Amino acid sequence: MPRATIADNMNAQDLKREVLSLSNKQRADFVQKYFKCGAGQYGEGDIFAGLSTSDVRKIASKYRGLTVTDIERALQEEVHEMRSVALVIMAAQYRLAPATNKKKYFDMYLGNTRYINNWDLVDISAPYIIGDYLLKKDRGILYTLAKSSSLWERRIAIISTFAFIKNGEAADTLNIAGLLLDDDQDLIHKAAGWMLREVGKRVNQKVLEQFLDEFAPSMPRTMLRYAIEKFPENKRKYYLSIKKATR
């Protein structure tokens, strides 16, 4: 299929019309349950149009020339897929931007975290904008986010470190995972465990084992299970037995 062409005059309203034109109520009902959008759930109030991931990617490609102002407008829309498209475009523009222009995307992202309010939105964007921007900069903002009352800002903090892991660095992932040991949200346990697993896979398994030797007894079980998922069976059993012995 030919790559979608870009129209010079496309804006956030055009994008919204196209997203809504592809609405699928049956799929929307399903994904709203999948993303826990009911009362009292982590995604409470989120509204889905029911687009597929392929739909989102195709629309993002078509609108990849959207202005920064219109990206921000799309990011602030109530329809989930609008925010998803906006973040895919933002990450793509950030990647291609010269170093001198990357900060505007970083600042826009941090100024709109309240709209990046489900795990998929965090995961498709945080490492590629926040993490990448901080590769050679002070990372204090991640520690501030890790202590936030916002579930999503805490997830942004740990998922952003994926960029560091891919660069061969583990320290910030381990430090932030340590800050999140007592978090009361399973989505954070999963995210931290995932990033710890990636440390073992991409950086150094011994570094991960040293972390687990100290913290496995006090880690949330979900975090531990995610972290040791790729370990040999004997090591998985060992760390699970440490956790079980301290229950």
CA distance 90 to 67: 10
What CATH number is associated with residue 211? 1.25.40.290
Q: What is the pLDDT of residue 1?
A: 38
Same-domain check for residues 237 and 212: yes
In a shared domain, residues 244 and 199? yes
Tell which residue, 152, 224, 238, has the closest CA to residue 193: 224
Helices assigned H by DSSP within 40-170: 53-62, 68-75, 80-96, 102-110, 119-123, 126, 132-133, 140-146, 151-160, 162-166
| 8 lies in the same domain as 79 | yes
- Say if residue 79 is in the same domain as residue 22: yes
Same-domain check for residues 118 and 140: no
Last residue of a domain, one of 99, 133, 167: 133
Same domain (yes/no): 113, 5: yes
Q: 46 and 106 share a domain?
A: yes
- Residue 2: per-residue pLDDT: 43
- Tell whether 45 and 156 lie within a shared domain: no
Q: What is the pLDDT along the chain (247 residues), one digit of tens a residue?
A: 344 555 567 899 999 999 999 999 999 999 999 999 999 999 999 999 999 999 999 999 999 999 999 999 999 999 999 999 999 999 999 999 999 999 999 999 999 999 999 999 999 999 999 999 999 999 999 999 999 999 999 999 999 999 999 999 999 999 999 999 999 999 999 999 999 999 999 999 999 999 999 999 999 999 999 999 999 999 999 999 998 765 5
**CB burial class (10 A; 0-12, 13-18, 19+) of residue 105?**
buried
- Is 18 in the same domain as 127? yes
**Do 127 and 143 fall within a single domain?**
no
What is the rounded distance in angstroms from the CA atom of residue 52 to the CA atom of residue 115?
A: 20
Which of 133, 166, 189 delimits the end of a domain? Answer: 133
Residue after which a domain boundary falls, among 84, 112, 133: 133
Please name the amino acid found at residue 92.
Answer: A
pLDDT at 244: 72
Same domain, yes or no, for 105 and 144?
no
Count of structural domains within the chain: 2
Give the residue numbers spanning the domain of 175: 136-247
C-alpha to C-alpha distance for 18 and 85, rounded to whole angstroms: 11
Same domain for 148 and 75:
no
pLDDT value, residue 243:
81
